[in-house]
Chains A and B, each alone.
Chain A
Amino acid sequence: MKQLSLFIALTLMSSFVVAQTAKEIMETVDRHQRQSNDREFTKVSLSTCKFAVKDGKPVCSEQPRKKVIETVQKNYGNDGKDTKSISIVLEPASEKGIGMLTYSYGDDSKDTESWLYLSALGKVKRMVSGGKEEQEPVAFFGSEFTTEDMENGKTDEYTYTILEEGNYGGTKVWVIETIPSEQRLKKTRYSKAILWVDQEKMVVVKNQSYDKRGNLAKKMISSNFVETKGIWKALETTMINIKDSRLSAIVTDEIAPDVDVQEEFLTQRPLTDFAFREANLNELRKGSIKTH
C-alpha cells in the first residue's frame, strides 16, 4: 500500500513538475521578450504582400506594401509588464508623419491608452482603446500581424503542455502547445498554438496558430537573433497567413538596445513638438546599429 501511495505521489509530482516547467519556460520566454524591447530604439520595415512559391521560395505576386517605422519603447512596473512606446511612420509617403503614443498595462483591468497625431488637423487625439474583454484584434499597421500576435505578458491566460523535446534544426527545442483559457478564448482568434522554443536562447523560433476550427491559420518564423546582456531577440519575423496566401515580414533595419530614453520623450510632446522629437531621435539614431 505504501508503495502504491508512493507511486501515486511520484506520478502526481512528475505531472506537476512537467506542467510547471512548460509554464515556467513560457514565462521566461515572455519575460525575455519584454526585456528585449525595453529601453530600445528600432527602425523596422514592415512589408506585406500576397505570395506565390517559385523555385521553392515564397515570392511576392504583387507589389509589396512597405511601411518604415521608428519606435522607442520603455518598460515599467512589476516585471516590466507596463510599457510606454512611441512610433513614427517614415514610409510610405501617404502616411509619413503619423505618430502614435501608447501606454499599455500588464494589469488587465487597466485600459491601454493611446494618442494619435492627426497631421491633417495638426492636433493630438486620444484614441478609444476598446474593451479589454472580447475586443477583436486588429491588423498591426495593416499587416498580417495582429495586435494579438504582438502582445505579451499574458501567460496567465493560457495553459501550456510540452508536447516534445528534442533536436530541431540541430538545436535543442521544446515543442509546447498553448491552449487559451475559457476567458481568453472569447477574445482570441486562435484555438491553440504550437511553439518551438530554443532551449539555449529562450526564444520562440516558430509558432503555428490554429483557428477556431482547429485548422492551421498562420505560421510565424523568427530568425537572425542577436544577444544583448544575455537576452536574445529576433531581427526578422515572418508571418505567413496560410488561408489568405499573404505574408508580412518585420525586419529590424536599425537597433539601439539599452538606450537612455528621456521620460519626456514618451509623452504627448513629441507628437507635436517636431523639433524636440527629431533632436531626441537623432541622438538615438546615432547610437544605433545598422543590421545590414
Chain B
Amino acid sequence: MLKFVKIFFACCVLLPTFSIAEVTESGNSTLTTQTFLDSRLIEETLFPSTSFIEIETAKLNKKPYRLSQDEISKLRQELNAKYNPEEIKKALSIHLQQEPDNIQQGFVELNKVLSSEFASQLSSARQEAAQANKNGQVGDYQESLDLKKVKEHRFQIARTYDGLQKLSTSQSIIFQQIQGEIRSSLNEGQSSTYKTKDPAERLEELKQLNQSLSLYAFRQIPAKDFIPYFNALATPSVQAALEAYEKDLRTTLEELEKNNAKEALLQEDTLLQEESLLTGGSLLGGDSLLLDDGLMLNSSDMFGSSDAQEKSWKDYFVFSLAHQETHDDEGENPIFRNTVRVEYEQAFANNWFARLDVKGTHYQLDDRQALQKGENYNRGKVKAAWLQYSQGACAIKAGQQSLIWGQVDGTFAVDDITPFDFTEKLLTDYSAVRLPQVMVVNDCFFANKKQTQLFYIPKAQLHLSSHLDDEYSLMAASGIDDEDLDSEWGARFKFSFGKTDFALMYADLISNGPTYVLPDLVNPPIPALSEYKLYGFSINHTSGSWQFKSDIGYKTDQLLQGTLSEMSDVVDAAIGVQYLSRSNHNFNLGIWGQYTLDDEQAPTANDSTPFITFNWSKQYLGDSLDLSLLASGRENPKTSSATAQASYKVNDYWNVLGAVTLVDNDDTVINPLQSNNNEFSFEIKYQF
C-alpha cells in the first residue's frame, strides 16, 4: 500500500501541482514559493478533483453505477474533514521551501509538459466521448471512450504497484541518466556563467531541455521510474496522510459501487440501448424457425450483405498474383519473378473430384535463372492436374500430383518419391519446391485407425535444377538418358493405437539425383542412378504439449560416390520432437543422418554428420502475422543457415512476406535450394 501511495503521490499529487504554475512569455517566472503554495492550488493538488475524485464519482454517476450528487458532496466533505488539507499543505510547503527555486521551476516545466500531453489526451478522449454521446451511446462503452486515456494513465500507476520489484536494469540506467541530465541542467542554472545569460534565453534553454527530457521520459519510462526522484520531496507525514486518505476513499467507493451494481444490472433502458446498438433489433425476437430479415440487418450493417448465394463458376477458382525478389550480400544470385497461379477444383457426378493447379512465371532479366539463360523468359508449371474417384472404402487419384511420406519436418529419411524443383525459392509454400509427377494413388480407409496406400509412377523424374535445356536439365547435364527412367511403385500401411501413429512403407524407386561413380580407374566419374528398394517405418506419438516422431528408411543398392560403381545398403534415420508452449509458441527439433551399412566401403562421400533442424513459429494479431525462425546445419560438410521470416496478411487478399537468411557454408558445398551468401527475400501476393 505504501508503494502505491508513493506512486499516487508522485503521479497524481505532484504532477498536477506543478502543472498549474504559470510562466510568462517574457521568460520571467511568476512562480514563487508563495504562489506555489497557494492554498487553493494545494488543496486541488492533494485532493485532485480532476484526477481522482471526479473520475471515481463520474464512474459512480454512470450507469450501472448511480450515486446522487448529495452523496458525492457528503463523501467529499467527510474525507476533507478527516484529512485536513491545511496540515498536508503545511508539511509539503516546509519541505518544498527548502529546495532551490530553480529546482521547483525545473519541475514546473517538466510537469507542465507531462500534464499538457495528458490534458491533450484527456481532451481528445472527451471529444470522442461527446461524439459518442451525440450518437446515442451509453453505458460502459461510453465510459471506455471517455476514460480510456485516463485509465491508461492510471494503469501506469497500477503497473508501478505491480512491477516495482521488477524494475529492469536498463530502465534504471535510463532513468539515472535522465536524473543526471536534469540535475546537471539545474546545477548549471545555479552557476555564475549561466546567471550571466539573458533571463529569457536562460528560461528558454531550460524549457527546451526540460521539454525534451520530459517528453522522452514520458514516452520511454514507466511512471514507476520517477518514484525515487519524487520520493525525495515527499515527507513521511504527507505520505501517511495520503495513504490513509487513499485507503479510506477506495473502501468507501468500493462499498458504494457494490451496493449500486446489483441494482443496475437490470436497467433495461441502458441495456436495451446497448442491444439496439449492437444488433439493431430486439434480442428476444425470432421465435419462429425462419428468421426475421430485420434482425439480420445487424451483420449486414457491419460487414455488408452475406446472403447465401448459389455457387458460381468463380467459386471453383482461386487466382494468385505474386512478385518475388531475393538479394544476397554478394549480388550473385538475385531472384526477380512475377507469377500467376490458377487453381481450380470441383466435385461432380457424385464421387468424382477434379483439381487443376497451374503456375506461370516470368523470370526477369535480373533473375538468377534468366542470367543463366541470358534472356528473360516465361515458364509454365503444372503443380497438380488430377482426377479422384471415391467408392466404398477406397479412393483412386490419377494425374499430376505429389506424394510425400514421413513425419519429421525438414528431413527426408523416407521422403524419396517426389523430386525437388531447385529452380524455385522456398518461402512459405512447400509445394513450390516439389516437382509433381504423373502417378496413380489408391487409398483405402478402414475406420479411423487404418489406411492403406498404393502408388504407381509410370516414368520416374529427377530433381529439376535449371531451365537451361529442357525440363529434365539434370538428366541432360548428367548425360542420363530418358530411357533410363523406369517406373516406380510402392505401398504404405498406416495404423494408430491411441495417440500413436505408425506407418510401414515399401517402395521400388529410382534415385531422384544422380551419383557420380568411377567406371574404372582411368576414366573420369560419370553420373549414374541407383535403382533401389525402400523399407520404411514411421512413428508419431503425441502427448499434451509434446509430439515425438521418427522416420527410418532402409535403402538397398545405393551407389557410393567416387567409387567404382560400388553399392551399399544405407539407413536413413530421422528423429524429431515438437513442443507447443503454454503461450502457443511452436518449437520443432529434428535430427537426420545417413549411415552406410557396409563398413568396408567407409569412409566415402556418403558419410556425413547428422543434419540438425530447428524451427520456431507463432501467430500474432489473431492470425494476421506469422513469425518464424528456421535454422539448420551439419558439421561435416559444414553447412549452416538461419532464416527469420515474417508474413503479414494485410486483409483477405493481400499478403506480404519478408525473410532474412544467414548462411555459413564450406565453399565446396552446393545447396541447390540456397545460395552460399546471406539473403534478403521479399514477396507480395494478391489472391482472390
B contact residues, range: 35 or more
CA distance A240 to B271 in the complex (A): 15
A43-B308, A56-B136, A279-B390 given; name 5 further pairs at CB < 8 Å. A62-B651, A93-B319, A93-B652, A129-B545, A275-B347
Q: Which A47-67 residues sit within 8 Å CB-CB of chain B?
A: 47-49, 51, 53-60, 62-66
Interface flags for A151-168 (1: CB within 8 Å of B; 0: not) read 000000000000110111
CA distance A113 to B649 in the complex (A): 28
Q: B55 at interface (Cβ–Cβ under 8 A)?
A: no
A130 touches B431 (CB 8 A): no
CA distance A227 to B141 in the complex (A): 32
Q: A139 at interface (Cβ–Cβ under 8 A)?
A: yes
Q: B23 at interface (Cβ–Cβ under 8 A)?
A: no
Q: What's the minimum C-beta distance from A166 to chain B, rounded to whole angstroms?
A: 5
On whether A129 and B542 interact (CB within 8 A), knowing A59-B301, A223-B281, A292-B307, the answer reads yes
Q: Which A119-135 residues sit within 8 Å CB-CB of chain B?
A: 119-123, 126, 128-132, 134-135
Most chain B CB inside 10 Å of its own CB: which residue of A59, A64, A205, A275: A275
CA distance A290 to B362 in the complex (A): 44
Contact pick for B540, options A122, A126, A167, A224, CB 8 Å: A126
Contact pick for A216, options B140, B265, B353, CB 8 Å: B140
Return chain B residues, CB-CB under 8 Å to A47.
299, 302-303, 306
What are 28 contact pairs spanning A and B, CB under 8 A?
Answer: A53-B132, A53-B135, A56-B276, A57-B301, A94-B318, A94-B649, A94-B685, A121-B404, A128-B546, A136-B583, A142-B622, A142-B624, A163-B262, A166-B266, A175-B266, A198-B284, A205-B284, A221-B278, A223-B283, A225-B286, A251-B306, A253-B306, A267-B445, A268-B448, A276-B351, A276-B395, A279-B347, A292-B306
CA distance A282 to B390 in the complex (A): 14
Return chain B residues, CB-CB under 8 Å to A11.
none
Q: A284 at interface (Cβ–Cβ under 8 A)?
A: no
Return chain A residues, CB-CB under 8 Å to B293.
292
Q: A29 at interface (Cβ–Cβ under 8 A)?
A: no
Q: A45 at interface (Cβ–Cβ under 8 A)?
A: yes
Q: B84 at interface (Cβ–Cβ under 8 A)?
A: no
On whether A130 and B404 interact (CB within 8 A), knowing A141-B623, A276-B395, the answer reads no
Q: What's the minimum C-beta distance from B430 to chain A, rounded to whole angstroms?
A: 4
Return chain B residues, CB-CB under 8 Å to A163.
262, 265
Interface flags for A209-236 (1: CB within 8 Å of B; 0: not) read 0000101100101011111100000011
Return chain A residues, CB-CB under 8 Å to B579.
128
CA distance A168 to B591 in the complex (A): 62
Q: Which B86-141 residues sit within 8 Å CB-CB of chain A?
A: 132, 135-137, 140-141
Q: What's the minimum C-beta distance from B283 to chain A, rounded to whole angstroms?
A: 5
Return chain B residues, CB-CB under 8 Å to A282.
347, 350
Return chain A residues, CB-CB under 8 Å to B546.
128
Interface flags for A66-108 (1: CB within 8 Å of B; 0: not) read 1000000000000000000000001111101100000000000
B350 touches A279 (CB 8 A): yes
A292 touches B296 (CB 8 A): yes
Interface flags for B297-334 (1: CB within 8 Å of A; 0: not) read 01101111011100000010011100000000000000
Q: A12 at interface (Cβ–Cβ under 8 A)?
A: no
A122's closest neighbor in chain B, by CB? B402
On whether A273 and B302 interact (CB within 8 A), knowing A55-B135, A111-B543, A223-B283, the answer reads no
A123's closest neighbor in chain B, by CB? B404
CA distance A240 to B137 in the complex (A): 15
Return chain B residues, CB-CB under 8 Å to A275.
347, 351-353, 388-390, 395
CA distance A202 to B334 in the complex (A): 63
B158 touches A213 (CB 8 A): yes
Q: B144 at interface (Cβ–Cβ under 8 A)?
A: yes
Q: Which B621-649 residues sit within 8 Å CB-CB of chain A?
A: 622-624, 649
Most chain A CB inside 10 Å of its own CB: which residue of B279, B404, B499, B543: B279
On whether A122 and B262 interact (CB within 8 A), knowing A227-B289, A292-B291, A292-B307, the answer reads no
A274 touches B265 (CB 8 A): no
A138's closest neighbor in chain B, by CB? B584
Most chain B CB inside 10 Å of its own CB: which residue of A118, A227, A292: A292
Return chain A residues, CB-CB under 8 Å to B623.
139, 141-142
On whether A169 and B278 interact (CB within 8 A), knowing A143-B622, A251-B299, the answer reads no
CA distance A29 to B277 in the complex (A): 26
Return chain A residues, CB-CB under 8 Å to B445.
264, 267-269, 273
Q: B596 at interface (Cβ–Cβ under 8 A)?
A: no
Q: B497 at interface (Cβ–Cβ under 8 A)?
A: no
B499 touches A113 (CB 8 A): yes
Contact pick for B622, options A48, A55, A97, A131, CB 8 Å: A48
Interface flags for B397-433 (1: CB within 8 Å of A; 0: not) read 0000111100000000000000000000000111100
A242 touches B140 (CB 8 A): yes
On whether A120 and B688 interact (CB within 8 A), knowing A128-B547, A139-B623, A242-B141, the answer reads no
10 closest cross-chain pairs (CB), A and B: A142-B623, A278-B347, A275-B390, A142-B622, A267-B448, A92-B652, A275-B353, A56-B136, A276-B390, A47-B303
Q: What's the minimum C-beta distance from B341 to chain A, rounded to whole angstroms?
A: 11
Most chain A CB inside 10 Å of its own CB: which residue of B501, B578, B623, B649: B623
Interface residues of B (CB under 8 A from A): 132, 135-137, 140-141, 144, 151, 158, 262, 265-266, 268, 271-272, 274-287, 289-293, 295-296, 298-299, 301-304, 306-308, 315, 318-320, 345, 347, 350-353, 355, 388-390, 393, 395, 401-404, 428-431, 443, 445, 447-448, 451, 499, 501, 540, 542-547, 578-580, 582-584, 586, 619, 622-624, 649, 651-653, 655, 685, 687-688
A97 touches B345 (CB 8 A): yes
A173's closest neighbor in chain B, by CB? B266
Q: A247 at interface (Cβ–Cβ under 8 A)?
A: yes
CA distance A96 to B355 in the complex (A): 13
Return chain A residues, CB-CB under 8 Å to B278.
58, 219, 221, 238, 240
B432's closest neighbor in chain A, by CB? A120
B447 touches A58 (CB 8 A): no
On whether A93 and B499 interact (CB within 8 A), knowing A122-B403, A292-B296, the answer reads no
Contact pick for A167, options B266, B274, B283, B303, CB 8 Å: B266
On whether A169 and B284 interact (CB within 8 A), knowing A94-B649, A132-B544, the answer reads yes
A65 touches B651 (CB 8 A): yes
Q: Which A142-200 residues sit within 8 Å CB-CB of chain B?
A: 142-144, 163-164, 166-171, 175, 194, 198
A255's closest neighbor in chain B, by CB? B289
Q: A37 at interface (Cβ–Cβ under 8 A)?
A: no
Q: A206 at interface (Cβ–Cβ under 8 A)?
A: yes
Q: What's the minimum C-beta distance from A275 to chain B, rounded to whole angstroms?
A: 4
CA distance A131 to B585 in the complex (A): 13
Q: What's the minimum C-beta distance from B128 to chain A, rounded to whole angstroms?
A: 10
Return chain B residues, CB-CB under 8 Å to A130.
544-545, 580, 582, 584
CA distance A260 to B447 in the complex (A): 17
Return chain A residues, CB-CB under 8 Å to B688.
93
B289 touches A274 (CB 8 A): no
A175 touches B301 (CB 8 A): no
A221 touches B401 (CB 8 A): no
Q: What's the minimum C-beta distance from A271 to chain B, rounded to whole angstroms?
A: 11
CA distance A149 to B398 in the complex (A): 43
B279 touches A223 (CB 8 A): yes
Q: Which A15-57 residues sit within 8 Å CB-CB of chain B?
A: 43, 45, 47-49, 51, 53-57
On whether A96 and B318 interact (CB within 8 A), knowing A128-B542, A130-B544, A142-B623, the answer reads yes
Return chain A residues, CB-CB under 8 Å to B286.
223-226, 235
A94 touches B652 (CB 8 A): yes
B582 touches A135 (CB 8 A): yes
A93 touches B318 (CB 8 A): yes
Return chain B residues, CB-CB under 8 Å to A92.
652-653, 687
